[in-house]
Amino acid sequence: MDYIIRKMERSDVAAVAKIEADTFTEPWSEQSFIAELSNPQATILVCDISGEIAGFADMREICGECYINNVAVIEKYRRLGIGKSLMEGLHGACSENAEFITLEVRESNSAAISLYRSLGYTQVGVRKDFYRQPTENACLMTRLLK
């Protein structure tokens, strides 16, 4: 399957917000994504398959620390390498000054944890009761960039 990973544009916001709402129990709004587009610390990438947005990844970089806010892929496109491509795109978007990249993931999300480990992330902590609906701990995972 052919797809491209590119920066999110204003015209992608509705599709990204729908993926977000379909994936997460406390989703960001369209307004949040619009605001993120004008945030110079933010990078939002989308996976475009012939004009259909199949997934997205959002990261912020502040003072040499990169934090991944969200990564999501439409269910019918999962396990095709799109999540990995989005993550690699974020890695490539980190500045030369960035020292590490970090994220949280539900403890029960074994597929995502496996992906992150394959990309060099290690678990560095647990955030108790981080998620709601249902309440669940988050694994804090980090990858050193230098």
The CATH code of the domain that includes 18 is: 3.40.630.30
Residues of the chain with pLDDT under 50: none
Structural domains in the chain (count): 1
The single residue of 36, 77, 104, 121 carrying the catalytic annotation is 104
Domain that holds residue 66: 4-103
The pLDDT value given to residue 102: 97
In a domain, 112, yes or no: no
Assess whether 116 carries a catalytic annotation. Answer: yes
- Asked whether the bond before 134 is cis by omega within 30 degrees of 0, the reply is yes
The single residue of 77, 116, 121, 131 carrying the catalytic annotation is 116
Task: Output phi, psi for 77, to 5 deg.
Answer: -105, 5
Tell me the pLDDT tens digit for each residue of 96-120. Answer: 999 999 999 999 999 999 999 999 9
Cβ(90)–Cβ(42) under 8 Å?
Answer: no
In a domain, 17, yes or no: yes
Cβ(43)–Cβ(87) under 8 Å?
Answer: no
In a domain, 54, yes or no: yes
The pLDDT value given to residue 1: 80
Assess whether 104 carries a catalytic annotation. Answer: yes
**Strand 42-49, strand 52-62: pairing:** antiparallel
DSSP assignment of 19-74: HHHHH-SSPPPHHHHHHHHT-TTEEEEEEEETTEEEEEEEEEEETTEEEEEEEEE-
Cβ(66)–Cβ(37) under 8 Å?
Answer: no
In a domain, 108, yes or no: no
In the block, residue with structure tokens 């892929």: 73
